[in-house]
Amino acid sequence: MSRGGDSTATVPEADFRSYYGQPVLKPPVWHVPHMPLYLYLGGLSGASSVIAAAARLSGHDRLALAAGVTAFAGAGLGSGFLVAELGRPERFLNMLRVFKVTSPMSVGSWTLAVHGGLTAAGAASAVTGLLPLAGDAAVLAGALTGPVMATYTGVLLADTAVPAWHAARRELPFLFAGSALASAGAVGMLTTPRAEAGPARAAAALGAVMETAAAAVIERRLGLEGEPYQRGKAGLLMKASRALTLAGGLLATVAGRSRTLTAASGLAITAGVLCTRFGMLEAGKASALDPKYTVVPQRERAAGRRLAVVPDQENGSHTP
Amino acid sequence: MAERVGFFTDSSVCIGCKACEVACKEWNGVPDDGFVFRATSYDNTGQLGADTWRHVAFIEQDGRWLMSSDVCKHCTNAACLDVCPTGALFRTEFDTVVVQPDICNGCGYCVPACPFGVIERRERDGRAWKCTMCYDRLRGGLEPACAKACPTDSIQFGPLDELRERAAARLERLHADGVDEARLYGESPEDGVGGTGAFFLLLDEPEVYGLPPEPVVTTRDLPQMWRWAGGASIALVGAVAACFLGSRR
Ligand code: SF4
Ligand code: SF4
């Protein structure tokens, strides 16, 4: 048994008991860089397919082509990282053995399979010019699977016992959606002639704002469970992410003026959203490895419940 | 379906002999988990994991030693099972939770999902492993190896209802004897995981034994989480639409 707390810390640490300071939980086993790269590529592919469909509908043909090919490449490369991350990659197809809504990973695998097929068909038709009608249908259908690709990863992380992830369950899908939109906008403006890349630049700026806002809400709302996002390696990555994404987003609003600005904006955003993914994994690992983040909030929850059933106690309102 | 069975681990009579750890390894062929002297206590294995399916916690306090044999809780609402995308984790006819090693593809999702930090991926063979409550022995009408080997009956195996009654009686007896700190852990179907199939009588707060004080199965919040994801999806589509407005060609 040991009391928690670091006597050198300037802010008093929460007092709690643990088994020799050992973690209560097992940290996520996912590796760097596979898992963060998959999160990036999956989100990029998802948001790009929505952009491709909108570009198709509004007659931005060059942007539609670039976004469609990006959507396909993101899904393809992402699947590669996903398979490589498995303990038994040769059994990847077991993912499609059952369909379970209780498993975000199952929902994600099926979505990825369908989305990968649609984006491949859309890109093949756009590049070769064959079967244009079927190609357009695939591109439009990709606008349905794309948003799921871009947001399910938020649920994937949140549906775990990892304190920093589960506590952020409301914001994570928005964070991932914003991040995906920013990354798709960035790649869109890097791969489309400037004259036609207006909507991509707008997407990059809007996505950057959305991601930054969601991350800010996580830091404000979470309290103790939000601490891992601000400390250590995860804290550095999240800070870098915010600086790069916001700077890139701001640049995107003026990037139409020159190639240099476009490149600077696109690269800054890409680096920023990559930092977000790596930071999320780091924060999750750190929060699972320190028993403080498991024990203290659970103790507070228990105390809140006890207060709630005893009337006349000063306010026992705790978020469940 | 057979009657639900489970473990009642009464830590007040555990002597820390680790016969359960050894019997489990022997019967289930669980690989070596390292000969480490941890220097914190007489605990050799540290925590449950892919290669440690029973773990005897050893806590030195002023004037007393606490010992308790930890194991997979075989939760009523098991997060590991809910999130497993391959169906490798399943609920048996005994209402226990078991991984099928021939199906598991090592995605690792069950590992951070378990609120007790039980299941783990064995990096050498890439799959997730944990206590099966000796599924093969149960099917053969035998009790699990750990319960069989326990010399003090600290680990009791049987129908869960019967175990709950026995535990309540034991708790009452201890309280009558003045052991006020005795408490049950995991026996209540009202808790965050719907009660556990393996529950405990402890002599201190759960976190002292490395157990979460108020575990919750996070899939409980999944409908809410899918709704937030739905909202985020709509926001994404709306944002893209907004980007194209005004630049229609
Ligand atoms: S304790 Fe963990 S591994 Fe065991 S059944 Fe419950 S969730 Fe699954
Ligand atoms: S590692 Fe195996 S048992 Fe665990 S969730 Fe993945 S497929 Fe299921």
Range of the domain at B156: 5-209
pLDDT in tens, B86-125: 999 999 999 999 999 999 999 999 999 999 999 999 999 9
Query: Residue A8's pLDDT is what?
Result: 43
Question: CB-based contacts of A56: which residues, under 8 Å, 6+ apart?
Answer: A64, A68, A136, A139, A140
* pLDDT exceeds cutoff 70 at B246: no
Same domain as B144, residue B30: yes
Same domain as B244, residue B170: no
* Distance in angstroms (rounded) separating the CA atoms of residues B93 and B114: 21
Mean pLDDT, residues B135-163 taken together: 98
What is the total count of domains within chain B?
2
Query: Residue A308's pLDDT is what?
Result: 63
Query: Residue A13's pLDDT is what?
Result: 62
Query: Residue A5's pLDDT is what?
Result: 43
Cβ contacts of A320 on chain B, cutoff 8 Å: none
* pLDDT exceeds cutoff 60 at A93: yes
Same domain as B189, residue B248: no
Mean pLDDT, residues A276-298 taken together: 97
* Distance in angstroms (rounded) separating the CA atoms of residues A125 and A146: 18
Confidence of residue A281 (pLDDT cuts 50, 70, 90): very high
- Please give the ipTM for the structure prediction: 0.95
Mean pLDDT, residues A219-226 taken together: 93
Other C-beta atoms closer than 10 Å to the C-beta of A195 total 8
Give Cα B188 to chain centroid, integer Å: 15
Residue B176 lies in a domain: yes
Chain A (237-276) residues lying within 8 Å, Cβ to Cβ, of chain B = none
Determine what percent of chain A is predicted with pLDDT higher than 90.
88
Can you give the pTM of this predicted structure?
0.93
* Distance in angstroms (rounded) separating the CA atoms of residues A279 and A235: 7
Query: Residue A3's pLDDT is what?
Result: 46
Residues B229, A155: C-beta atoms closer than 8 Å = yes
Q: Is B243 part of any known ligand binding site?
A: no
Least confident of A13-17, A26-30, A148-152, A300-304: A13-17
Query: Residue A320's pLDDT is what?
Result: 34
Mean pLDDT, residues A159-164 taken together: 98
Mean pLDDT, residues A250-272 taken together: 97
- To which H or E segment does residue B157 belong? strand B155-159
**B239 → closest Cβ in A59, A104, A206:** A206
Confidence of residue A304 (pLDDT cuts 50, 70, 90): confident
Determine what percent of chain B is predicted with pLDDT higher than 70.
98
Peptide bond into A27 cis (omega under 30): no
* pLDDT exceeds cutoff 60 at B130: yes
Angle between helices A259-289 and A291-309 (to 10 degrees): 70
Same domain as B29, residue B54: yes
Same domain as B240, residue B124: no
Q: Which atom of ligand 1 is nearest to the CA of B198?
A: 1
CA of B7 to the centre of ligand 1 (A): 14
Chain B interface includes A181 (CB < 8 A): yes
Cβ contacts of B41 on chain A, cutoff 8 Å: 20
Token readout for B191 is 């808790």
- Which is more confident, A313 or B224? B224
Query: Residue A111's pLDDT is what?
Result: 98
A43, A210 Cβ separation under 8 angstroms: no
Residue B214 lies in a domain: no
Query: Residue A309's pLDDT is what?
Result: 57
* pLDDT exceeds cutoff 50 at A264: yes
Same domain as B114, residue B9: yes
Q: Which of B5, B48, B72 to mutate to test the pocket of ligand 1 (most atoms within 8 A of CB)?
A: B72
Is CATH 1.20.1050.10 the right assignment for the domain spanning A24-289? no
Same domain as B170, residue B192: yes
* pLDDT exceeds cutoff 80 at B55: yes
* Distance in angstroms (rounded) separating the CA atoms of residues B157 and B145: 10
Query: Residue B11's pLDDT is what?
Result: 98
Residue B116 lies in a domain: yes
pLDDT in tens, A32-89: 999 999 999 999 999 999 999 999 999 999 999 999 999 999 999 999 999 999 999 9
Same domain as B100, residue B21: yes
Mean pLDDT, residues A227-243 taken together: 97
Same domain as B53, residue B115: yes
* Distance in angstroms (rounded) separating the CA atoms of residues A293 and A227: 9
Same domain as B240, residue B128: no
CATH number of the domain that B165 lies in? 3.30.70.20
* pLDDT exceeds cutoff 50 at A285: yes
Least confident of A173-182, A206-215, A221-230, B32-41: B32-41
Q: Which atom of ligand 1 is nearest to the CA of B97?
A: 5
Position A125, amino acid: S
Mean pLDDT, residues B150-168 taken together: 98
> Best mutation site among B11, B51, B86 for testing chain A: the one with the most A CBs within 10 Å?
B86
Confidence of residue A2 (pLDDT cuts 50, 70, 90): very low
> Best mutation site among B105, B120, B236, B237 for testing chain A: the one with the most A CBs within 10 Å?
B236
pLDDT in tens, B177-187: 999 999 999 99
Residue B13 lies in a domain: yes
Same domain as B226, residue B189: no
pLDDT in tens, B186-217: 999 999 999 999 999 999 999 999 999 999 99
Q: Is the CB of B72 under 6 A from ligand 2?
A: no
Token readout for A94 is 């077991």
Same domain as B153, residue B238: no
Q: Please, how many CA atoms are within 13 Å of residue B111, restricted to the half-sphere of its CB?
A: 26
Of all residues in chain A, the one with the smallest CA distance to B243 is A199
Residue A127: C-alpha distances to residues A135, A136, A201, B49, B209 (Å)? 10, 12, 23, 50, 61
Least confident of A2-11, A32-41, A228-237, B12-21: A2-11
